[in-house]
Amino acid sequence: MSSFTVSGTGTHSLSSGVGALHVHIDVLPARAGSGTANPVNWYHVGLLRPGDGTAFWEPLAIEADDAWISIPNGSTTLGYSIAPGGQVTVTEVIGPNPFAGPSGATGASGATGATGATGPAGPTGATGATGATGATGATGATGATGPAGPPGSALSFTSAQLGADVTISSTGTWFDGPSVSLIAGTWFIWATLTIRSPSVQNIYDARLFDGTTSFASTEAAQPFTSAPISMSLVGKVVLTSTTTVKAQVLTNAGGSTDGVIKAATTHNGVGNNASTIVAIQLA
């Protein structure tokens, strides 16, 4: 393993074979906020984004003092953006991505080709002289190709981002954030939601929901008026048929009706990726 320290914005090369990163917050940015998780979860610390030299995958938020982050196999570069005044140490973990599927079995060996015919004997040379070498026998036919081994199982991956802000226009009512349609199977789902009210320090609840079952939930409060908050949801879901799973938000009673699920961050927005949902099929 090797480690390096980053701050500000930029990119850093990754060692060959890195499958995960251990990220430690050395210096917490002044503008960082905390959630209600235990151990504490942070927001506005920074984002990491692995790439393979051709393009970059989705950004990964730094949310804990010490966090494990799985990155796709074949990653060679790490982009980073750390909030002003912050500093983190990144330690590489060599090995396969823990979410990679197993390799397929090796195909059977092809049959051995037939032995070629023996070449004719050369003529006898004159007395004392060495006879000429006989011609090389013909090459035997190539054996048939063995059957291909079965393919290794591949992970199915899907994601979605909120395309426009969603106003939470009433209290005590669930409003839809980003959603994904998933086929039958076992899925690992996580979502990040960015929420803000410009007038009141609201208390919000969030959940992963398929119309019948709530698979995960959490709760958070704005630390002060107009401050955006980030809420995260993670759940393992077993589906028996094609199902839409969505991330939803509710404003508690007594709150304002001007809360918004943000498509892009209010400050320094970098596109509609502030509220997103990701699903990986495990089986």
Percent of the chain whose pLDDT exceeds 70: 94
Token pair of 267 as six digits: 């400050």
pLDDT band for 134, please (50, 70, 90 cuts).
confident
Asked if pLDDT for residue 59 goes beyond 80, the answer is yes
Beta strands in 35-182 (DSSP E): 42-43, 46-51, 60-61, 66-70, 77-82, 87-94, 157-161, 166-168, 175-182
**Is 92 within 8 Å of 64 (Cβ atoms)?**
no
* C-alpha dist (Å) from residue 215 to 39, 43, 207, 227, 249: 21, 23, 7, 28, 14
pLDDT per position as a tens digit, 66-108? 999 999 999 999 999 999 999 999 999 988 776 665 666 786 8
Name the DSSP letter for residue 17. T
Half-sphere exposure of 85 (CA within 13 A, CB side): 6
Q: What pLDDT shows up at residue 153?
A: 58
pLDDT band for 246, please (50, 70, 90 cuts).
very high
Q: What pLDDT shows up at residue 100?
A: 62
Strand partners, 91: 3, 22
Q: What pLDDT shows up at residue 113?
A: 74
Q: Phi then psi for 86, rounded to 5 degrees?
A: -95, 160
Q: Mean pLDDT of all residues in the chain?
A: 91
pLDDT per position as a tens digit, 199-219? 989 999 999 999 999 999 999
**Is 247 within 8 Å of 208 (Cβ atoms)?**
yes
Q: What pLDDT shows up at residue 119?
A: 81
**Is 194 within 8 Å of 261 (Cβ atoms)?**
yes
